[in-house]
Structure 1
Amino acid sequence: MFVYKTFGVCSRKITFEITDGILHNVRFVGGCNGNTQGVSRLCEGMEAETVIERLRGVDCGGRGTSCPDQLARAVRSALDGTCETC
């Protein structure tokens, strides 16, 4: 289980698992409940690299990031082994 502390968004952290390159059990703590549930469900069972490609760079209100972008960053960090909060 990976735990990623978010920044610049309403959600406070994201938890998830990666098994054989596939993303599972994505959960956001905080944030816009309906949107984060939707992102979590859409990403379930997807290849981690695909999640990164699709979500990286999504912006929320000019913040330069978003909950989906934070998930992409978290997954990249987990795959690279650089996730400081994992």
Structure 2
Amino acid sequence: MTFAYPNQGTCSRMTKIELAPDHTIESVEVVGGCNGNLKGIASLLKGMKAEDAIARMEGVTCGPKPTSCPDQIAKNLKKALAAMENQ
């Protein structure tokens, strides 16, 4: 299933996520932000269970900001999992 959510409090604007039914991350694309870093993160996340990715990235901050692109990915993965459960 494919999901897209806006990011808040970061340079990036949106996270696009594709999850398999067993919660394996098939792809992540972050629109805006630090292109190379986010491509690297997306590559590392491919094949990982969403729950594991959330545990690793949730709460990561960027400089003085209370959030970061990885934190926003984690928040959006949580939203995607909740949406899958409600279907």
Given residue 65 of structure 1, which amino acid in structure 2 is its aligned partner? T
1:12-65 deviation per Cα after TM superposition (whole angstroms, max 9, x unaligned)? 001011102101110011000011011100100100000000000000012110
TM-score, normalised via structure 1 length? 0.91
Q: Aligned residue pairs: how many?
A: 82
Q: What is the alpha-carbon root mean square deviation over aligned residues?
A: 1.2
Summarize the alignment of residues 12-51 of structure 1 with structure 2, pairs less than 5 Å apart: 12-19=13-20, 20-51=22-53
Summarize the alignment of residues 1-86 of structure 1 with structure 2, pairs less than 5 Å apart: 1-19=2-20, 20-81=22-83
CA distance in 2, matches of 1:15, 1:2: 6
Unaligned stretches of 5+ in structure 1? Answer: none
Structure with bigger strand share is 1
TM-score, normalised via structure 2 length? 0.90
